[in-house]
Amino acid sequence: MGSMHTGFESRPDGVERLAAFYAERARGGAALIVTGGFSPNDAGNLGPHRAQFSTAEDRERHRPIPAAVHAEGGRIALQLLHSGRYGFHDRIVAPSPLKAPINAHVPRELSAAEIEQTIDDFARAATLAREAGYDGVEIMGSEGYLVSQFLAGRTNRRADEWGGPLANRMRFPAEIVRRTRAATGPDFLIVYRISALELVEGGLSGEETAALACAVEAAGATLLNTGIGWHEARIPTIAQAVPRGAFAWATRRLKQAVRIPVIASNRINAPELAEEIVARGDADLVSLARAMLSDPQFAAKARSGDRAGINVCIACNQACLDHYFIGEPVSCVVNPRAGRETKLFFARATTRKRIAVIGGGPAGLACAANAAERGHAVTLYEKAAGLGGQFNLAKRVPGKQEFGESIAYYEERLKRAGVEVLLNQAPQPSDLEAFDETVIATGIAPRLPAIAGVGHSKVVSYVDVLAGRASVGREVVILGMGGIGFDVALYLLERDGRAPLEPAAFEAHWGITRDPKAPGGLAPGGIPALAPGLRLTMMKRSATPFGHTLGRTTGWVHRAELARHGVRMMKSVEYLKIDDAGVHVRLEGNALVVPADTVVLCTGQLPHRPLEGRHVIGGAREAGELDAKRAMLEGAQLAARL
């Protein structure tokens, strides 16, 4: 299980929750777990709150974490991460005083003496980790943090023995590994997380990365784990836009350079894919992080061949990375118990109740599955011909095909739990009288805005577009710029099969090259321009920034894609009317007409509640954005109480 910041690292009850979180994954078969990042000193903290491992008190506080993992038969390494110029506080340091494009804080340049001290801090933290019971440490040398900043000419402008030629720039990571090995002895795991592909200008080339791999191997690393891309890279590395296993080839390059085992990572979310990567010889091991958030038993299920029983990570980032970046503990959209191991329990029901769940979307699925597994007799009504609700629309958006995995998983879970599923059925109140509990999970209905001409034949709803029922012309206006507006735009732009779903197409689309001499792994021409296939305008009434409701870690990918397609965006717009000519609006006091063959309404949702009941969850209770995260959480929490 690869490292992920959970947000618990800096919380007062963090150790207890981390112990429960990791123990659950060890119980589920994870062979080796790597914790989220802890800094070896004050300057290296990632956020304003202390997530540090550097003192005897830290050692004592952490003891329950490795103990809990060992009790389940697992092994655990503590990740040591110095954020360098990526820290969000005013004490940050770096090899050179260059501001990161993703951070407002400017780092202070480290003196030569401070560099020596920082290396010693890593070694001391590793010693303390060993004393706390950890089986090893992972030195975080990828994603653009301090170690990466020493390695790349982009961020290291030093003229002393720590800068200049590659041999000097590699001195910092090699010394960290060497002194850590000397301090912890020969039988302690030292995992070095290497940036297999930098994806930034002025980043290391493939050849330089291979040389670095050899240097850390010689310095005493036990395992080489891989990371892809710096956080400031403008190429997606873990989002849904990235094909599964897209970067395994970069790991293969390292495996060929060293003798120690090499670990592949990034967008590996299914056992058959993990197997393929190892069988092909791209890596010796695979590391999954989010996939073990969505299913803590991933490894055990993979081992027993229970593929259908795996709750696959859909790479949405909504409840994991996006949470971390707004200061909330991580969880998982499709597994709300993740991160709530000490709070959300599904105990066996003392009384078996008859429960009707109306609606087979995300909220209803989560409620029905968990309630039935607790021992209740559950009947699930769904008015459509299949389960999944809004997930069925989401899975049609380019890059969101993974939502289909969630539908299949929950269908399987309902079957195993003995839920009676009644499709094509919308029950009447009289049908529900025999039940002890009724759960209304009937979802949302699209909101129809009050605009003159909204009934024009060229006006269609996002539901009809995504379901493939509407015919859409080449000149399109989308009203509404929430997540659905962006999804519809991507769907329309890439509906002609232009979405880069295969690794080779993905590399061409984003300007990635496998040439081992290319700095950062970037193609010389950069990210290529796209020929516009459609004239698309998006507009909204509010003055808020474009795409401000999109996920913190994925919104930029959507915005970048739309910009490349030449999509025009308008805000602070007053809608006047829709007619044969197009959409009439007022913008900054001026009336204008935006021509349109088709106008797509993405103007919000309203709760759809054809029945009343004691329990109302998901969109039927509150319709905001299409919020699967809240829907599934409400479904699971209610199921735990029923």
Among residues 145, 462, 491, 575, the one annotated as catalytic is 145
333 binds ligand SF4 (CB under 6 A): yes
Cβ-based nearer residue to ligand SF4, 260 or 268: 268
Contact between residue 292 and residue 323 where contact means Cβ atoms under 8 Å apart: no
Instruction: Give dist(CA 183, CA 169) in Å, integer.
Output: 23
Q: Are strands 573-579 and 582-587 parallel, antiparallel or unpaired?
A: antiparallel
Cβ-based nearer residue to ligand SF4, 205 or 318: 318
Applying CB under 6 A, the site for ligand SF4 has a residue count of 14
Report, in Å, the least distance between residue 608 CB and ligand SF4: 25
Instruction: Give dist(CA 121, CA 82) in Å, integer.
Output: 10
Contact between residue 298 and residue 288 where contact means Cβ atoms under 8 Å apart: yes
313 binds ligand SF4 (CB under 6 A): yes
Report, in Å, the least distance between residue 57 CB and ligand SF4: 32
Cβ-based nearer residue to ligand SF4, 238 or 492: 238
Instruction: Give dist(CA 198, CA 195) in Å, integer.
Output: 6
355 binds ligand SF4 (CB under 6 A): no
4 binds ligand SF4 (CB under 6 A): no
315 binds ligand SF4 (CB under 6 A): yes
Identity of residue 618: G
Q: Where are the beta strands (DSSP E) in 308-412?
A: 354-358, 377-381
Instruction: Give dist(CA 336, CA 272) in Å, integer.
Output: 25
Pick the piece of the chain touching ligand SF4 (CB under 6 A) from 87-95, 248-256, 308-316, 550-558: 308-316
Contact between residue 487 and residue 397 where contact means Cβ atoms under 8 Å apart: yes
Instruction: Give dist(CA 636, CA 374) in Å, integer.
Output: 11
Chosen residue from 45, 297, 318, 537 binding ligand SF4 by CB under 6 A: 318
Cα–Cα nearest to 125, from 112, 109, 136: 136
Chosen residue from 314, 371, 479, 599 binding ligand SF4 by CB under 6 A: 314
Report, in Å, the least distance between residue 316 CB and ligand SF4: 4
Cβ-based nearer residue to ligand SF4, 274 or 476: 274
Cβ-based nearer residue to ligand SF4, 179 or 323: 323
Contact between residue 212 and residue 148 where contact means Cβ atoms under 8 Å apart: no
Q: How many CB atoms lie within 10 A of CB 220?
A: 19
HSE at residue 305, side-chain half, CA atoms within 13 A, is: 0
Instruction: Give dist(CA 512, CA 508) in Å, integer.
Output: 6
Pick the piece of the chain touching ligand SF4 (CB under 6 A) from 133-141, 206-214, 276-284, 329-337: 329-337
Largest CA distance in the chain: 82
Instruction: Give dist(CA 183, CA 637) in Å, integer.
Output: 47
45 binds ligand SF4 (CB under 6 A): no
Residue 238's φ and ψ, nearest 5 degrees, are -135, -5
334 binds ligand SF4 (CB under 6 A): yes
Cβ-based nearer residue to ligand SF4, 319 or 562: 319
Cα–Cα nearest to 489, from 497, 478, 480: 478
493 binds ligand SF4 (CB under 6 A): no
Quick check: is 145 catalytic? yes
Residues 274-303 that bind ligand SF4 (CB under 6 A): 290, 293-294
Chosen residue from 320, 355, 439, 444 binding ligand SF4 by CB under 6 A: 320
633 binds ligand SF4 (CB under 6 A): no
Q: Report helix, strand or coil for 42.
A: coil
Q: Kindly give, in sequence order, each residue whose CB lies less than 8 Å from that of residue 98, ignoring residues fewer than 6 positions away.
A: 85, 107, 155, 157
The distance of Cα 396 from the centroid of its chain, to the nearest Å, equals 19
What pairs with residue 75 in β-bridges? 32
Instruction: Give dist(CA 174, CA 218) in Å, integer.
Output: 8
Report, in Å, the least distance between residue 76 CB and ligand SF4: 19
Chosen residue from 316, 369, 632, 639 binding ligand SF4 by CB under 6 A: 316
394 binds ligand SF4 (CB under 6 A): no
239 binds ligand SF4 (CB under 6 A): no
Cβ-based nearer residue to ligand SF4, 314 or 522: 314
Report, in Å, the least distance between residue 629 CB and ligand SF4: 7
Pick the piece of the chain touching ligand SF4 (CB under 6 A) from 6-14, 315-323, 363-371, 429-437: 315-323
Enumerate the H helices of 395-449 as residue ranges.
Answer: 403-417
Contact between residue 370 and residue 636 where contact means Cβ atoms under 8 Å apart: yes
Q: How many CB atoms lie within 10 A of CB 279?
A: 8
Chosen residue from 180, 237, 317, 598 binding ligand SF4 by CB under 6 A: 317
Pick the piece of the chain touching ligand SF4 (CB under 6 A) from 187-195, 332-340, 341-349, 392-400: 332-340
Pick the piece of the chain touching ligand SF4 (CB under 6 A) from 252-260, 310-318, 427-435, 506-514: 310-318
Report, in Å, the least distance between residue 399 CB and ligand SF4: 13
Cβ-based nearer residue to ligand SF4, 322 or 382: 322
Report, in Å, the least distance between residue 317 CB and ligand SF4: 5
Catalytically active residues are 145
Contacting positions for ligand SF4 (CB under 6 A): 290, 293-294, 313-320, 332-334
